């Protein structure tokens, strides 16, 4: 009897052996309990026992790789056994009764081969056919016939397999660069190992090398542990399971686990890509001829193009030419080709160390690689897989396949850096020093391989690399500055009021008042954002950063800002006006105007001034499913104008009449904002984060009416801006403007605050505001003057 509850906890080999023994017993019982068919008159006597019957495992069970809670893929092969249907019923029902998942079929050898010749998935599964019980000679014939058919139909079936692989890559992404990868189906996942074996079975590629088998076996171990812990047939390595899986596999933590998964996936994907180029070349039918010349086209000194690959010239001397690696890589990237696998092996074995500092020709070749844009990515991956990139940049090993836990990042650190350099190649005409932009883009996050703030840690590392590359002293200093301050412009544009002169002065002082550095930082911010994700570099953020750069440029040039477009500008598209009787300034009423701007809408609200007005408006916007990303309030003659940059949460544009009516009702007190928002949060509740909120003050960075900046980092939730601004107002502070940024499940909200008297925020008041803000991040707020405390 099979103990199905203990089965998932067994090691993989023992699990397969236990199932084989049980299935063999089931086949014997099924045959013994099924009477043989009568012999035909004049025909041979009926077969008995398992003669002419073979129970064959295919798929993961056939490969002896069945994971916990995996499907049993079984084929009952028969020959001259008319009672096979009854045997099959007697065999399959006990499997179902045991609660196991079963994919089954009953075939003759001819039937199985016929299906495999037209269905690529069936053909791929039968390549793993393994006898579990029954007629060994019949199972051997099935395997032989399947292999012969696979080789004969390779030109038709392998292109289908290639298309399936490309579709998986498009849908599921690359396993090596995902924080929650699909271990089986993602590009570089377990399917790659199976496809490599299929190409070898078609005699179009070699059997996978030992390092490939090791990577494949590691992914199997991770998947087994994932399924064992989740208790179900799961292949996606979800974040909540990673720490426990790492411990079970003897790894230090979840980051080490993800890094090892990434390295395994990259190796599988890299070898699979190389194999498919060989397969596709082998499937191309060439005209017969006695002699066939391969055209060799010179690309650089010692480097030629041969067919669709870049190879070494006959007179190349890799052992005596340290610059040959980069020269070959540059030639391949510029021609949008790849280096041949043999050339990579030769370079890896024979290339001498690069002299320090690098020769000018080597540095020039490296810059040509980076300047090649998208075509540089696979070439750099080739250098990385053969260890050549780490030889040139030893610091690279510290970030290789290093996962990033930030919700915006879609790549590991090393791939992000390469993607950033590729994005920077499109901006080289916008800067005076494209060489520094390309290198800074490749190195801007190099500090993430060391403890501490990666920008601070990365500065001396980038400077040391610049010295080794042979850059001049002034250029090395610029590289360090770019790495140190690569987040300056986006962080300032999002979290500070760029209309405040103190903000502009601080940016100018930080970069050393050098316009060329400002130019490079702007291009680097664009490349970094583009390589991170669409969320990290939205049109709205690009607009804010460009506006900040224009203001700083004007400050550095000593000229007034005339041509730059304001970030928050008058609305012109739609407007609704509602009178608010019984309030000061009611003759002017409440006005709401809406305008389409970059990546969202701008809502301008005019209303009689009163304490907590910005909070009231923010609550009305949140109630109408509008995420606020920036807010600014101005007051003149008792009338306040608030300008809000918003984006609809569910894609619906705001309606000015509804917003105006909501502001009116909130000001009158007939709309209970706190209660309504509490209900809205309950309706759209998401998982809450356990990390405590963090409050920080930046009083030295402001000028004008504001006396301080308070920054709140907390888990994002519905109506958070309303609750935070209400908490600040309840402690007697006015909010003049706000900058809001959402980082995955976290919000970073910065508020410019001021005492009505103009006095600075004293320590006691600051402590009370901190306590109120922390309470607001966790529960309902107290509205000021417009709502009943809840």
**If you search the block for the tokens 């909501």, which residue do you land on?**
662
Domain end marker among 256, 283, 310: 283
Q: 78 by DSSP, 3-state: which?
A: strand
pLDDT at residue 39 greater than cutoff 60: no
Residues 139 and 163 grouped into a single domain: no
Q: Please report whether residue 568 resides in a domain.
A: no
Domain end marker among 249, 283, 317: 283
Residues 196 and 320 grouped into a single domain: no
pLDDT at residue 585 greater than cutoff 80: no
Digit-coded pLDDT (tens) for 321-364: 999 999 999 999 999 999 999 999 999 999 999 999 999 999 99
CATH of the domain at 418: 1.10.3090
Over residues 98-108, the mean pLDDT reads: 94
Q: Quick one: pLDDT at residue 405?
A: 72
Digit-coded pLDDT (tens) for 233-257: 899 999 899 999 999 999 999 999 9
Q: 473 by DSSP, 3-state: which?
A: helix
Residues 451 and 489 grouped into a single domain: yes
CATH of the domain at 177: 1.20.120.330
Q: Please report whether residue 457 resides in a domain.
A: yes
pLDDT at residue 774 greater than cutoff 50: yes
Task: Say which range, 2-11, 100-109, 355-364, has the weakest mean pLDDT.
Answer: 2-11
Q: 76 by DSSP, 3-state: which?
A: strand
3-class secondary structure per residue, 482-538? HHHCCCHHHHHHHHCCCCCHHHHHHHHHHCCCCHHHHHHHHHHHHHHHHHHCCCCCC
Digit-coded pLDDT (tens) for 220-230: 999 999 999 99
Q: How confident is the model at residue 574 (pLDDT cuts 50, 70, 90)?
A: low
Q: Quick one: pLDDT at residue 647?
A: 82
> Residue 675 burial by CB count (10 A; 0-12/13-18/19+): exposed, middle or buried?
middle
Q: How confident is the model at residue 570 (pLDDT cuts 50, 70, 90)?
A: very low
**If you search the block for the tokens 């350099």, which residue do you land on?**
421
User: What is the residue-averaged pLDDT of the chain?
Assistant: 86
Domain end marker among 233, 249, 283: 283
Q: Please report whether residue 562 resides in a domain.
A: no
Residues 431 and 344 grouped into a single domain: yes
Residues 258 and 393 grouped into a single domain: no
Residues 91 and 118 grouped into a single domain: yes
Residues 600 and 517 grouped into a single domain: no
Q: Please report whether residue 567 resides in a domain.
A: no
Residues 166 and 307 grouped into a single domain: no
Full residue range of the structural domain in which residue 195 is found: 156-283
Q: Are 362 and 354 in contact (CB under 8 A)?
A: yes
The two three-digit tokens of residue 551, written as one number:
């203001």
Percentage of the chain modeled with pLDDT above 70: 88
CATH of the domain at 129: 3.30.460.10
Residues 586 and 622 grouped into a single domain: yes
- Given the DSSP bridges, would you call strands 338-339 and 309-312 parallel, antiparallel or unpaired? parallel
Instruction: Indicate if the alpha-carbon torsion angle 421, 424, 426, 429 is positive or negative.
Output: negative
What separation in angstroms does the CA of 374 have from each of 336, 378, 418, 473, 728?
9, 8, 9, 30, 48
pLDDT at residue 157 greater than cutoff 60: yes
**If you search the block for the tokens 């020709």, which residue do you land on?**
361
pLDDT at residue 787 greater than cutoff 50: no
Q: Quick one: pLDDT at residue 404?
A: 83
The two three-digit tokens of residue 217, written as one number:
């076996």
Q: Please report whether residue 16 resides in a domain.
A: yes
Q: Quick one: pLDDT at residue 689?
A: 46
Residues 165 and 145 grouped into a single domain: no
Residues 207 and 58 grouped into a single domain: no
Q: How many domains does the chain contain in total? A: 4
Q: Please report whether residue 416 resides in a domain.
A: yes
Digit-coded pLDDT (tens) for 669-709: 888 888 888 877 666 554 444 568 889 998 777 776 677 88
Q: Please report whether residue 289 resides in a domain.
A: no
Q: Please report whether residue 98 resides in a domain.
A: yes
Residues 395 and 505 grouped into a single domain: yes
């Amino acid at each position: 009897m099979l103990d199905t509850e203990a089965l998932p906890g067994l090691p993989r080999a023992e699990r397969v052996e236990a199932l084989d023994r049980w299935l063999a017993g089931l086949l014997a019982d099924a045959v013994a309990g099924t009477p043989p068919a009568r012999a035909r008159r004049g025909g041979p006597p009926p077969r008995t026992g398992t003669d002419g019957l073979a129970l064959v495992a295919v798929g993961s069970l056939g490969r002896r790789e069945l994971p916990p809670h995996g499907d049993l893929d079984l084929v009952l092969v028969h020959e001259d056994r008319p009672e096979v249907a009854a045997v099959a019923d007697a065999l399959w029902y006990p499997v179902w009764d045991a609660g196991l998942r079963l994919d089954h079929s009953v075939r003759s050898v001819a039937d199985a081969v016929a299906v495999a010749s037209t269905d690529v998935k069936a053909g791929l599964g039968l390549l793993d056919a393994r006898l579990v019980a029954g007629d060994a000679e019949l199972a051997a014939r099935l395997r032989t016939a399947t292999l012969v058919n696979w080789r004969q139909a390779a030109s038709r079936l392998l292109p289908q397999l290639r298309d399936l692989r490309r579709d998986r890559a498009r849908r599921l992404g690359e396993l090596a660069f995902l924080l929650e990868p699909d271990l089986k189906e993602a590009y570089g996942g377990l399917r790659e190992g199976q496809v490599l074996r299929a190409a070898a079975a078609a005699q179009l590629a070699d059997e996978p090398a030992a390092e490939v088998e090791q990577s494949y076996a590691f992914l199997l171990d991770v998947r087994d542990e994932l399924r064992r812990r989740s208790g179900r047939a799961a292949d996606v390595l979800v974040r909540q399971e990673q720490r426990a899986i790492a411990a079970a596999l003897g790894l230090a933590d979840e980051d080490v686990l993800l890094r090892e998964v990434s390295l395994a996936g990259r190796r599988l994907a890299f070898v699979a890509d190389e194999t498919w180029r060989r397969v596709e070349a082998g499937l191309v039918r060439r005209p017969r001829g006695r002699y066939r010349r391969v055209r060799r086209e010179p690309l650089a000194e010692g480097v030629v193009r041969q067919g669709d690959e870049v190879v070494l010239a006959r007179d190349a001397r890799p052992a005596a030419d340290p610059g040959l690696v980069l020269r070959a890589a540059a030639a391949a990237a510029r021609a949008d080709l790849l280096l041949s696998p043999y050339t990579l092996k030769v370079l890896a074995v024979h290339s001498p160390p690069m002299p320090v500092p690098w020769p000018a020709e080597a540095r020039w070749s490296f810059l040509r690689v980076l300047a090649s844009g998208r075509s540089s990515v696979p070439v750099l991956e080739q250098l990385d897989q053969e260890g050549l990139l780490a030889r040139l940049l030893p610091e690279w090993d510290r970030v290789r396949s290093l996962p990033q836990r930030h919700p915006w990042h879609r790549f590991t650190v090393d791939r992000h850096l390469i993607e950033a350099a590729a994005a920077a190649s499109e901006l080289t005409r916008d800067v005076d020093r494209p060489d520094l932009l390309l290198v800074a883009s490749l190195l801007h996050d190099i500090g993430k391989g060391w403890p501490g703030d990666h920008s601070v840690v990365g500065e001396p590392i980038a400077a040391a690399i610049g010295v080794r590359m042979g850059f001049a002293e002034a250029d090395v200093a610029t590289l360090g500055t770019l790495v140190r301050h690569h987040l300056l412009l986006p962080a300032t544009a999002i979290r500070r009021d760029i209309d405040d002169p103190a903000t502009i002065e601080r940016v100018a002082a930080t970069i050393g008042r050098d316009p060329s550095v400002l130019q490079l930082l702007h291009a680097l911010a664009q490349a970094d954002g583009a390589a991170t994700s669409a969320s990290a570099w939205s049109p709205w953020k690009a607009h804010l950063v460009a506006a900040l750069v224009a203001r700083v440029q004007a400050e550095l040039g000593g000229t007034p800002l005339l041509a730059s477009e304001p970030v928050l500008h008058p609305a012109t598209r739609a407007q609704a006006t509602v009178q608010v009787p019984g309030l000061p300034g009611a003759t002017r009423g409440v006005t709401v105007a809406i305008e389409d701007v970059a990546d969202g809408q701008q809502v301008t609200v005019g209303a009689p001034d009163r304490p907590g007005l910005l909070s009231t408006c923010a609550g009305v916007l949140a109630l109408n499913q509008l995420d606020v990303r920036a807010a600014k309030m101005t007051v003149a003659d008792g009338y306040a104008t608030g300008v809000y940059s918003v984006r609809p949460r569910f894609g619906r544009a705001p309606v000015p009449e509804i917003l105006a009516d909501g502001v009116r009702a909130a000001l009158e007190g007939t709309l209970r904002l706190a209660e309504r928002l509490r209900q809205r949060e309950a309706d759209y509740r998401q998982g809450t984060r356990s990390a405590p909120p963090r409050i920080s003050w930046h009083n030295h960075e402001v000028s004008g009416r504001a006396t301080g900046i308070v920054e709140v980092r907390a888990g994002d939730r519905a109506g958070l801006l309303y609750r935070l601004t209400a908490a600040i107002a309840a402690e007697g502070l006015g909010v003049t403007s706000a900058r809001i940024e959402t980082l995955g499940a976290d919000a970073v909200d910065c508020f410019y605050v001021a005492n009505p008297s103009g006095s600075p925020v004293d320590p006691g008041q600051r402590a009370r505001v901190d306590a109120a803000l922390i309470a607001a991040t966790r529960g309902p707020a107290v509205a000021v003057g417009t709502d009943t405390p809840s």
